[in-house]
Homo-oligomer: A and B are copies of this chain.
Amino acid sequence: METKQATGIFEALSSDVRLDLFRILVKYAPGGLVAGEIAKHLSVTKTNLSFHLKALLHAGLVTMEKEGRFLRYRANIPVMLDTIAYLTAECCSGHPEECRNYRAASAVSPEVLPKCCSSGE
């Protein structure tokens, strides 16, 4: 992954509307939701929803598919995973034991966390 793509993705996730939006689509992966269904989960105008969906689409974080007169949106999970890998690349380079400690200390279940030390673990 290139820096340009990664910054575009993080910028897309820097709006509360878009972050909520994306997390809903992550939850409803892989089936996705049509725009109207998404609107029911959020309180934004249709104009604004459309604006933010377009931004996520442009960043590559979601995909769109025509479905009759509806438009179905899906979270692009592979892109999400690649971005996480990019962010955590070479974490604690040369200090794998520190990485283990960090993961163990996290408030979140270690199962959902990346093995951020790419070195032989």
Q: For chain A, what secondary structure do more than half of its interface residues adopt (helix, strand, loop), or is it mixed?
A: helix
Confirm or deny: A43 has a beta carbon within 8 angstroms of a beta carbon on chain B: no
A interface size (C-beta, 8 A) = 52
Using A11-B14, A30-B92, A93-B27 as known contacts, say yes or no to A118 and B109 having CB atoms under 8 A apart.
yes
Number of copies of this chain in the oligomer? 2
Question: Is A37 in the interface zone, CB < 8 Å from B?
Answer: no
A115 to chain B: which residues have CB within 8 Å? 111-112
Q: Is A57 an interface residue (CB 8 A)?
A: no
Q: Does A64 contact B (CB under 8 A)?
A: no
Contact A102 B81, CB 8 Å, known A29-B92, A109-B118 = yes
